[in-house]
Amino acid sequence: MEKTKKNTTRNIIISVIALAVLVAAFFTAYQFLRQRGAEGAKTIHIDVIVGSETIHSADINTDAEYLRQALEEENLVEGEEGTYGLWVIAVAGRTADSGKEEWWSLYKNGEFSMTGVDDTPLADGDIFEYRLTVGYDESGY
């Protein structure tokens, strides 16, 4: 009985150590593979579009490497922290109404962004659009 308890304890300790090593390896890989924004001063452009109307348009001068920081410096976005970062609820003072299936879609240089505001890297001359989108389809977009 004593030997079984020692083996069980040893197996649990080995499993916990292995899990910790795997988590550290995945975190390190993510840090190395994550897209990086350009360092230093840059100018980006942002348009906020509701329907067919541009409700806000601005050039932003920033040293930020990622979009969230640049937009927060200008007080352009508000949201809720979630598992994947900031879920943008309001842009330029316009709040999306989830009861009407409204949400903000992000476009970078004319293409739908596959990253959220936290993970969207910046480069000088980037052009962003936040479009108020209505309706959810099966894909979630």
Residues 52 and 117 in one domain: yes
Residues 13 and 51 in one domain: no
Residues 58 and 22 in one domain: no
Residues 48 and 20 in one domain: no
Q: Which CATH number fits the domain that encloses residue 89? A: 2.170.130.30
Residues 96 and 130 in one domain: yes
Residue-wise pLDDT tens digits, 75-132: 999 999 999 899 999 999 999 999 999 999 999 999 999 999 999 999 999 999 999 9
Ordered alpha helix ranges (H), 55-138: 67-73
Domain contains 139:
no
Q: What is the average per-residue pLDDT within 56-74?
A: 96
Residues 124 and 56 in one domain: yes
Domain contains 12:
yes
Rounded Cα distance between 105 and 134, Å, is 10
Rounded Cα distance between 2 and 134, Å, is 64
Domain containing 8 equals 1-33
Task: Collapse the DSSP code of 47 into the 3-class scheme (helix H, G, I; strand E, B; otherwise coil) and give the result.
Answer: strand
Residues 71 and 125 in one domain: yes
Residues 27 and 63 in one domain: no
Residues 86 and 121 in one domain: yes
Total of domains in the chain: 2
Confidence (pTM): 0.71
pLDDT of residue 141 exceeding 60: no
pLDDT of residue 139 exceeding 90: no
Residue-wise pLDDT tens digits, 27-57: 666 656 556 666 789 999 999 999 999 999 9
Residues 81 and 127 in one domain: yes
Res 136: pLDDT: 76
Contact between residue 44 and residue 55 where contact means Cβ atoms under 8 Å apart: no
Residues 73 and 128 in one domain: yes
